[in-house]
Structure 1
Amino acid sequence: MASGFCEDCSRLLDEFCVYLRKVCREFEQKIRDVFRELSQCTCFRIAPESSFLRRRRRRRTQELLSLHLLCDDETQLLNQESLHALSRLASSEDTDLQTTAAMFYLHVSHHLKSSLPDAFMEPVMALLLSTDLDVQKTISLSLVNLLAKNNVCKELVIEMGMLVPILELFQSGDAAAQCHSCACVTLLASSESKSEAIMVDGIMPLLALAKSYEPQVQQNATWALLHLTQSDWSTRILCEVGAIPVLVLLLQSSDSQVQFYSCTALCNIAAVREHHPKLLSMGGHFLLKSLLTLVSSSVQKNSTQACRCLQTLSRNVLIQEQLMELDCLVPLKALLKNSSPVRRESAITLLSALSAHPPNNDVLVSEGLLEEIGQLLHHQTSVIITHSCKIITDLCGSSMGQQAVMDSLCVSGLLGALLSPSVSDETSLHVTSCLYHLVTWDPLKSNLSVTITSEQVSRLVRLSGLIQNPQLSYNSAAIISTLAMTEEMAQLLRPHYITMLEYLLVFLKKKDVKLQQLGILTVFNLKKDGGFSSLLAGSELEAQLWKVHAQTEETRRLLQMITPLSPSPVDP
């Protein structure tokens, strides 16, 4: 390819390059000469290399070469020769040799498919005790990989005392070293070893580090404590050695990440009911107050995690009562109005758990929760709809709750949820179950008949025909069967009479008495409209009605033969 220069320019550049190379060679030679003379002066105290050092360097080179050759063949990785070489390298005071051994273990940790022989753990311990942080980081990462793949025995690691140097890495100030240390502790926490005393000795430094004034150290220590709560065994030890007060205090940390880690750890602990007494042992409802404060956090993940922790704790009735005493509705109602769907969902999930406890219901109703739910149903997500249905069903068990439902937007919100294109059949099942529950009360039945629209009627008719989903079909058809057959309602239903005849026929042909009875009730209600009566006359549905009638009469006649009947234990 042409250079783009003319012949003269090219010649001048070539000459310059030749001259530059010559100058560089001369300068290099001059540097060599100067440093050769300097090295002979006693000022620098550099003695000529002895034969011992030459042999040591040669041996080092041979060991490095042998290790590289060993790494190419997995069958020779763990032989006696490599063990001896690793032991020499790990016990050396030369950090270069220690690094070589640590790198060998790192290579092994990536490629080893079998178990690492116990004898190969001795050099690991020596490398963990190295004074060089890079060596410690490399070997601790190797240990993480080996533990994660179950290539080493966790119990052996603990018994050899490796937990101590691993935990000391927390104080190194190096983020990578602290991360490796945390990962090792987390993996060791799943050990089934009965050496609890050793594990306690390992956890105590973590608790001390969690109280550190150094943000990064505190964050890493809390992260490790969080992962320890993922094992039942280590969680129990944590609770026994006093980790709960430390974690509760960390909820008030100025570091949002520490708040999140400690809150998640407490949530894991709260999942085991036997730990609840210790969780509540701090006086003045300190834990619950701290969590309620965190509910209002500006950091979304902390707010939602605090709600989740309170929800887990609320399975305990005593804790529910304490939450109500602390006026927990104020921050939760504020979250229901938040623009973030995640925050709204976390709040309504906790409120759903509270509404399941009947003694809370009058307070929830009087505090206007149903009004909030009615408005919230118009910001539909599956989680919000599902828990809203549960709350409405729980709270309308009293006359005060029924009136609050009628005064709110709950019914229109539920009907609107039926039309949402994003609502699944599973969510529709919750909606129809709630609506069906509401129409069992006469005032609410009238409210529904006045509120429902043609689109919502069409949706209920379509769902009634989903025979492959029996409960959804039943709920939808049951709602239709209760609608007051006014002229306005008849106008909404007339376009669907043919479809309704089809699913009612299926109901009557089923052996399920409940479906047959629903079919009969629906026909009875629809016959109030002359248009439906005309379609029914001479139809297959009418013929099936006579069959069911005949079967019922025959059953009644046979039952009369058994006289007298004993009173039913269910309905005397």
Structure 2
Amino acid sequence: MASSFCRNCSRLLKEFIAHLREFCREFEETIRDIFRDLAQCTCFRSTPERVFRRRRTELQSLLPLCDDETQLLNPDSLQTLNSLSTSENTELQMSAAMYYLHLSHHVKSPLSEAFMEPVMALLLSADLDVQKTVSLSLVNLLVKNYVCKELAVEMGMLVPLMEMFQSGDATAQCHSCACVAMLASSESGSEAIIMDGILPLLALAKSYDPKVQQNATWALLHLTQSDWSTRMLCQAGAIPVLVLLLQSSDSVVQFYSCSTLCNIAAVEEHHPQLLSMGGHFLLKSLLTLMSSSVNKNSTQACRCLQTLSKNVVIQEQLMELDCVFPLKALLKTSSPEPALTLLSVLSAHTPNHDVLVSEGLLDEINQLLCHHGSNSVIIRHSCKIISDLCSSGVGQQAVLESQCLSGLLRTLLPPTLSDETLLHVVSHVNQLMTRDPLKTSVSMTITSEQVSRLVKLSGQTQNPQLSYNSAGIISKLEMTEETVQLLRPHYMDMMRYLLVFMQNKDVQFQQLAIVTTFNLKKDGDFSALLADSELEVQLWRVHAQMEETRQLLQMIQPLSPRSVNPSLPQ
């Protein structure tokens, strides 16, 4: 196409373009050095947003490569976290929250207060995802005890955490409840939660999300660590909620609810409120939970009933609900101790004896002693139950038929048994043998190994009460032909400990030595050994002392009963 310009105009335009290009080239060369120098200054290098993004990139590039604590907690990282956590950009806040989540998995020591400040800023974020991420990292750190709970409470972390209860997001509620549960174990945390957190926690305890329920009931459990907070919890209406949660399909929720109720039951003033739900609802729920296939739940239910059973009225209600049957079933499990402990409480109340005997409890105890003869808890409670039920003739007959006494004697043999448990056994057997039918039973069933053990225990001096009660059993044995055969190999050892008893300043030991000697003299072999022995010399010496004391007392005009006890009527 032909140009519309004349030749002269075309020439002038070409010259203009050439001069313009030359000018731009010279101008570019002139300002290039100036802009290069400006770019080196921090004032013009980049915007704050770009700074944040660069720092975020540096943090993100560090995470996959770094699990070293000194690198994770260096001052540069702290400066970056402070900048990102206070940014209004949620993407940058999330980067800081993710860094804390990584840190919570790799840190091996408590966080300093400086590193806690960005956590607080992130909890106050307007973005729920940021809050969920940083609260999860806080859960991890609290579980490891790498966060000072008192400091977290002082910084005000409970406020945003409890605000997350109202978020409607199950994950946020789960994380925040877990944090609150652990912060509630501190005194200041418990007080802060009591003021504003009980009702929201009770609401979350009824959540349809199992994890939220678990953490909410966990937090409620921590609020029963003091009488004051427990009282406030009850006043807020926690008991009906917790009782209903005993029937939850989630075993963890059942455990936390039962544990909380157990702590509440420890304070007797709460018993009327615990029992206010009609139809013995609480007791029935606990009895049902006691049969749970989850061992810790059945154990906790037994403990809760045991605490409640200190109240005689509650004991009577339990007996009306036929509690013995499920308790007997638990005695046959691998962990019979909680059920046996509750039965031990019930046996202390005399009106319960007939039912416990008629239900065959003593037969079950004999089986326990056969299979758990080295378990100190089972031995102690078995001793107590047998002694309690022997208060009546019917009970004594049941003890004889069940062969429980033989079971108790068998527990003397395991070498691992502590002196405390041994003392429990021998003191109860010694006391039981004051009843003639039981004394006869022991005399007929005792074995040579058990006699040897009793003689050895009688001769040890480290535990006087253990020695005294062991010797007391021997002193009550009937000197039948079979018993004499068991005792004869030990006559010399017995004379040694009897001599020690005679030299003891405690009159009880002297009296026991005299009674034992009198009983053993029924055997001519023992009488022959006693003749002219050091023990016989000591016996005559004590006899002379007692005769001298008797003669001195005769010199004193006998006092009238009224002068000894002025309260007697004239």
* Alignment match, 1:14: none
Instruction: State whether structure 2 residue 292 is matched by structure 1 residue 297.
Output: yes
Alignment of 1:72-91 (within 5 A): 86=82, 89-91=85-87
- Any idea what SS the aligned residue of 2:159 has? coil
In the TM superposition, what is the alpha-carbon distance from 1:410 to its structure 2 partner?
Answer: 1.1
CA 1:456 to 1:142, structure 2 compared with 1: closer, same or farther past 3 Å? closer
5+ residue gaps, structure 1: 1-50
| 2:316 aligns with one of 317, 321, 332 | 321
- Once residues 119 and 51 of structure 2 are traced to their aligned partners in structure 1, the CA distance between those partners, rounded to angstroms, is 27
- Once residues 214 and 186 of structure 1 are traced to their aligned partners in structure 2, the CA distance between those partners, rounded to angstroms, is 20
Q: Percent identity?
A: 57
CA 1:166 to 1:563, structure 2 compared with 1: closer, same or farther past 3 Å? farther
CA 1:422 to 1:84, structure 2 compared with 1: closer, same or farther past 3 Å? closer
| 1:360 aligns with one of 352, 355, 370 | 352
In the TM superposition, what is the alpha-carbon distance from 1:452 to its structure 2 partner?
Answer: 1.5
* Alignment match, 2:96: 100
* Alignment match, 1:330: 325
- The C-alpha deviation readout for 1:413-445, integer Å capped at 9, x for no partner, is 112222234433222212112211111011211
- Once residues 298 and 146 of structure 1 are traced to their aligned partners in structure 2, the CA distance between those partners, rounded to angstroms, is 32
- Once residues 392 and 348 of structure 1 are traced to their aligned partners in structure 2, the CA distance between those partners, rounded to angstroms, is 12
- Once residues 313 and 242 of structure 1 are traced to their aligned partners in structure 2, the CA distance between those partners, rounded to angstroms, is 19
- Any idea what SS the aligned residue of 2:203 has? helix
- Once residues 507 and 470 of structure 1 are traced to their aligned partners in structure 2, the CA distance between those partners, rounded to angstroms, is 10
| 1:57 aligns with one of 39, 50, 57 | 50
- The C-alpha deviation readout for 1:218-273, integer Å capped at 9, x for no partner, is 23322332333334443332211111111111111122222222112211222222
Q: Which amino acid aligns with 2:510?
A: Q
Between stretches 141-150 and 370-379, larger displacement belongs to 141-150
Instruction: State whether structure 2 residue 170 is matched by structure 1 residue 191.
Output: no
Instruction: State whether structure 2 residue 389 is matched by structure 1 residue 395.
Output: yes
Instruction: State whether structure 2 residue 177 is matched by structure 1 residue 178.
Output: no
Instruction: State whether structure 2 residue 234 is matched by structure 1 residue 239.
Output: yes
| 2:258 aligns with one of 255, 259, 263 | 263
* Alignment match, 1:347: 339
- Once residues 312 and 566 of structure 1 are traced to their aligned partners in structure 2, the CA distance between those partners, rounded to angstroms, is 50
- Once residues 244 and 398 of structure 1 are traced to their aligned partners in structure 2, the CA distance between those partners, rounded to angstroms, is 40
In the TM superposition, what is the alpha-carbon distance from 1:119 to its structure 2 partner?
Answer: 7.7
Maintained 8 Å contact 2:149/2:186: no
5+ residue gaps, structure 2: 1-43, 63-68
- Any idea what SS the aligned residue of 2:478 has? coil
- The C-alpha deviation readout for 1:441-472, integer Å capped at 9, x for no partner, is 11211122112122221121111112211111
- The C-alpha deviation readout for 1:138-196, integer Å capped at 9, x for no partner, is 356567778852461625527x723423535783337xx72564133332353347966
* Alignment match, 1:162: 160
* Alignment match, 1:209: 204
| 1:275 aligns with one of 270, 275, 291 | 270
* Alignment match, 2:368: 376
Maintained 8 Å contact 2:161/2:176: no
- Once residues 112 and 517 of structure 1 are traced to their aligned partners in structure 2, the CA distance between those partners, rounded to angstroms, is 65
Maintained 8 Å contact 2:383/2:428: yes
- Once residues 515 and 192 of structure 1 are traced to their aligned partners in structure 2, the CA distance between those partners, rounded to angstroms, is 56
- Any idea what SS the aligned residue of 2:151 has? coil
CA 1:199 to 1:90, structure 2 compared with 1: closer, same or farther past 3 Å? farther
* Alignment match, 1:32: none
| 2:450 aligns with one of 456, 461, 470 | 456
Q: Which amino acid aligns with 1:123?
A: A
- Once residues 502 and 90 of structure 1 are traced to their aligned partners in structure 2, the CA distance between those partners, rounded to angstroms, is 85
Maintained 8 Å contact 2:306/2:345: yes
Q: Which amino acid aligns with 1:257?
A: V
Maintained 8 Å contact 1:147/1:187: no
CA 1:547 to 1:143, structure 2 compared with 1: closer, same or farther past 3 Å? closer
- Once residues 444 and 144 of structure 1 are traced to their aligned partners in structure 2, the CA distance between those partners, rounded to angstroms, is 56
- Once residues 325 and 379 of structure 2 are traced to their aligned partners in structure 1, the CA distance between those partners, rounded to angstroms, is 21
- Any idea what SS the aligned residue of 1:378 has? helix
In the TM superposition, what is the alpha-carbon distance from 1:499 to its structure 2 partner?
Answer: 0.3
- Once residues 114 and 145 of structure 2 are traced to their aligned partners in structure 1, the CA distance between those partners, rounded to angstroms, is 8
CA 1:379 to 1:129, structure 2 compared with 1: closer, same or farther past 3 Å? same
CA 1:58 to 1:538, structure 2 compared with 1: closer, same or farther past 3 Å? same
Between stretches 165-174 and 540-549, larger displacement belongs to 165-174
CA 1:143 to 1:394, structure 2 compared with 1: closer, same or farther past 3 Å? closer
Report the aligned-residue RMSD.
3.5
* Alignment match, 1:563: 557
CA 1:151 to 1:403, structure 2 compared with 1: closer, same or farther past 3 Å? closer
